[in-house]
């Protein structure tokens, strides 16, 4: 009897169910005697012992269903070694439940924080296989993460929809895209949506450069401009501050996000009307796009094969069009950032897109 646990942690995304389905359907093909348990609400379920037995029927009809059928939660890695409010040792509790449930392997789907905790469990002796989930596409060791393309489609659609109203009214529109630390989502949606200016966390912007680009468009007879701005975009001035100074400054700011601060500065410097659009959590919602369904199915099937070979301690990654196992210790704690000198940035600049640098 094989006993496998499924756990989804961190923020949700469109392809969590599709990926679990890929793992489960392949495992059911491999093993005639297997039990799959859904650990409820992420690492919280593993800590406090909340789980349920999943049947083959639970994986039917979920290929196109967003979110996660077993729930999720955020359990910050930096607090994992700290006892909870009742003094419970979280790591010991997770190990104890893993052993009590007699799991042969724990399949964990999540982003960067999730992978750090997964690696911790590997170090503590648990058999772990992970899958790269995040709309940010910032997990090291894989070219693509499931959920990313679906989020790109939604963010791009938001920019597409803004084009008509921006053109009609001759305004500057800022579309704020998710991404605190990395700008892959904003970069791809910005290019796909025909944004005139793209601001990313990896490329601190100069407001003078942004204004110059807007004024250039006005002189060329362009009636409107669209900015795709990552929620983690940062000015050169703020980028020069220490973490402590930046935290203190942001605490005092009257703006709900960087886009509103940027919008006011643009309006004051150019006299143009500025409007802000924030798609927000819609970027993580809805059904997965066909591309994500294919990627999720492939990644899930590959994870099942690792379990079959008892090849534990790996993340299933996607590199150069092929599925590859990536050592978990190489993944944990690393972010895949946008390189300011990368070819995609150079090509975007060649199209005339301004990055504010």
Which residues are the active-site residues? 136
Q: Directed axis angle between helix 148-169 and helix 184-192, to 10°?
A: 50
Angle in degrees, CA 206, 209, 215, rounded to 5: 145
Which token pair is 133?
């989930």
Residue with tokens 């990627």: 295
Give me the helix-helix angle, 207-219 and 258-270, nearest 10°.
50
Phi, psi of 330 (to 5 degrees): -80, -20
- Cα separation, 50 vs 38, in Å, equals 9
Strand partners, 288: none
Tokens representing 54 are 């999943």
Q: Where are the alpha helices (DSSP H) in the chain?
A: 16-30, 43-48, 90-100, 112-123, 148-169, 184-192, 207-219, 236-239, 243-252, 258-270, 290-308, 328-331, 343-350
């Amino acid at each position: 009897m094989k006993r496998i646990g499924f756990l989804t942690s961190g923020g949700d995304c469109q392809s969590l169910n599709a990926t679990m389905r890929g793992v489960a359907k392949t495992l059911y093909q491999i093993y005639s005697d297997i039990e799959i348990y859904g650990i409820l609400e992420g690492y919280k379920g593993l800590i406090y012992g909340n789980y349920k037995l999943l049947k083959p029927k639970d994986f039917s009809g979920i290929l196109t269903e967003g979110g996660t059928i077993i729930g999720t939660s955020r359990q910050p890695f930096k607090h994992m070694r700290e006892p909870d409010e009742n003094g419970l040792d979280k790591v010991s509790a997770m190990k104890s439940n893993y052993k009590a449930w007699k799991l042969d392997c724990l399949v964990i789907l999540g982003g960067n924080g999730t992978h750090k905790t997964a690696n911790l469990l590997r170090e503590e002796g648990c058999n772990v296989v992970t899958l790269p989930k995040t709309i940010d596409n910032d997990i090291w060791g894989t070219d693509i993460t499931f959920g990313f393309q679906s989020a790109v489609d939604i963010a791009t659609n938001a920019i597409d929809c803004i084009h008509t109203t921006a053109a009609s009214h001759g305004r500057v529109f800022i579309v704020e895209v998710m991404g605190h630390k990395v700008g892959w989502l904003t970069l791809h949606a910005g290019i796909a949506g025909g944004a005139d200016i793209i601001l990313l966390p990896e490329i601190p912007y100069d407001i003078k450069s942004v204004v110059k680009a807007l004024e250039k468009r006005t002189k060329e007879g362009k009636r409107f401009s669209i900015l795709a701005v990552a929620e983690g975009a940062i000015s050169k001035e703020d980028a020069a501050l220490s973490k402590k100074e930046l935290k203190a400054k942001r605490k005092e700011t009257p703006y709900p996000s960087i886009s509103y601060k940027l919008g006011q500065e643009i309006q004051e410097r150019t006299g143009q009307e500025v409007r802000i659009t924030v798609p927000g959590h819609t970027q993580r919602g809805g059904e997965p796009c066909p591309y994500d369904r294919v990627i999720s199915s492939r990644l899930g099937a590959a994870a099942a094969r690792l379990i079959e070979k008892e090849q534990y301690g790996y993340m299933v990654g996607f590199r150069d069009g092929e599925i590859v196992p990536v050592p978990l210790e190489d993944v944990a704690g690393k972010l895949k950032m946008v390189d300011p000198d990368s070819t995609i940035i150079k090509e975007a600049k060649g199209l005339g897109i301004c990055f504010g640098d």
